Structure 1
């Protein structure tokens, strides 16, 4: 990165299902090379809102009956949470009116504790709330966060997170979206902070998620910006060393030369196609292995085409991407009583 400055404005957008209520929490973050967050005055206090619920289940097991949701998922005798990313491919009003498509979204998303979503595309603010409400009908306690509309005027989208409130807590004041005045990124990432639930607070795994969607025509320019952003999020004043970048990188992870300077960078999946029809692996979950020792080593691509025995035409109506997931210990440092070095 040269002397070009990348400015950030932290924007938290919360929607109350059915009311279209908006809340913005603003910060200033100055410069690619000089990350500094300064809290600015905001015009409206955040109300106590609980937005929707969803059932969470173990990835390899069928959904538990209603009322049997665990505080955290059990994986091979250890408590772990599943973090996933999913490009929904133009999730819009037209798709939301197709019961078969919505049913498949529900069946997939309820499998994970936290999911970063890309390509939410609607002129109205009720699209994601309605999806979460539909998932709610199966029981559980999920919530969601959705960012501002980003990208070119005719191809705008929103990034978002849905998460199991029985598995994680969130700091609503710590969600922010990059405000890129220099247009270094076509779509500004959405960033949030999470902490696992169900165990002692001082032993809980805390982590920042950076939800990204790289422009496929600008990967050479945008990937180095994401490298810098990864460090800036780590140094944003919270003292969080576990920064997990996930989303649609629009390129094979082996070609990410712009991320080569991130020491000991790990990727959740390797040479496994993340596209419904194709051989490319463009969706992934990245983190520093020396910092994020909570990664259990278990990860993969959820091939819903084969899982639900779908014809390719029906699968492509859902998305041309497949969810990528990884499992992380609920304990900071990977074990009870062990605290990772900050």
Structure 2
């Protein structure tokens, strides 16, 4: 990537310099011309192509460690997270270790009529001295199999903005499980990053209709009473970044996971974090998929006991409006449809 960008820049410099030698122009004019040409070349080299998405920013492996200037945001579909899974000691120990790696985790597929699953799970998470809390939505679904969305977050790093938590209103019943929305803000820093998370698990049988509906959800959340422009839609979309319907056609929307599978069997890219790149400049260009089998030395069968999905994550600046730039080869997918 670097060589590709620099090559035309060098050629441009040589062209301008050689032209100057023969035309007798002064060196100030040479310098100005080179600077202008360099800007044009680099801008053109980094500009996304309109006929295909940009290359993925996604990587396999561990997320970046918690740091003073970064926030790690994750999404995790914990398959059928209920009483039975809570009684699987090995699975819950791994789940607790995963949660501790992130500042906030959007969880999908909590399934239990008893409302003690998350409190009991957080007791395990916090048993090492951590201080995680949670936000939970109502039980949702059109059948007897109901699910709940959950946000689990580190109170040493984040706080929930008052009166920001709600379930999206869906009067036309376009979604099986209406998204849970919550706005978080970094603590302990000046000018803290504030962002809104939209937790979603689409229905696999009606995914085409639901990703279309999520386009309206995304815009509505941007315009809700909180008026937060940093909106991150995350969860199990049951669709890869190239098949997001009207959601994928929203201007400047990017999906940070692409080209790598997010399910435990390694066959599908269904889990993601999506945001408007014009607004959410705090994205640090780092994202990926945590491979449970590799990270914890598990067989495929043992990893599947934890979940049939892997956690996906992205890193953001802890300070509002600070862009760290994007590393070469680490571009998120810009979705053109």
When the two structures are superposed, what TM-score results if normalisation uses the length of structure 2?
Answer: 0.76
Map of 2:42 onto structure 1: none
- Count, aligned residues: 263
Aligned residue number for residue 117 of structure 2: 127
Q: Which residue in 1 is equivalent to 2:98?
A: 108
Report what 1:96 is aligned to: 86
Check whether the contact 1:196–1:204 (CA below 8 A) recurs between aligned residues: yes
Residues of 1 paired with 2:157 and 2:126: CA distance? 16
Q: Quick one: distance in 2 between partners of 1:130 and 1:139? A: 15
Alignment match of 1:153 (pick from 129, 143, 160): 143
Matched, 1:85 2:71: no
Residue 166 of structure 2 is matched in structure 1 by 176
Give the secondary-structure state (helix, strand or coil) at the position aligned to 1:103.
helix
Residue among 233, 244, 265 paired with 1:256:
244
SS at match of 2:228: coil
Query: Does the residue aligned with 1:276 lie in a helix, a strand or coil?
Result: coil
Query: Normalising by the residue count of structure 1, what TM-score does the alignment of the two structures yield?
Result: 0.74
Distance 1:327 1:92 in 2: 29
Alignment partner of 2:316 out of 328, 331, 342: 328
User: Which residue of 213, 227, 245 corresponds with 2:233?
Assistant: 245
Q: Report the Cα offset of residue 169 of structure 1.
A: 1.2
| Regions of 4+ moved over 6 Å | none
Superposition RMSD in Å? 1.5
Whether 1:204 and 2:192 are equivalent positions in the alignment is yes
Find the counterpart in structure 1 of residue 6 from structure 2.
Answer: none
Deviation at 1:186, TM superposition (A): 0.5
User: How many angstroms apart in 2 are the aligned matches of 1:60 and 1:204?
Assistant: 20
Distance 1:95 1:237 in 2: 37
Shift of 1:275: 0.5
Q: Which has the higher contact order (CA 8 A, sep 6+)?
A: 2
Aligned to 1:279: 267
Matched, 1:300 2:281: no
1:172 shift after superposition: 4.0
Match of 2:216 in 1: 228
Deviations 1:60-118 (A, max 9, x none): 55xxxxxxxxxxx32xxx70000000000100111111111111111111110000000
In structure 1, list runs of 5 or more residues that go unmatched: 1-57, 62-72, 337-342
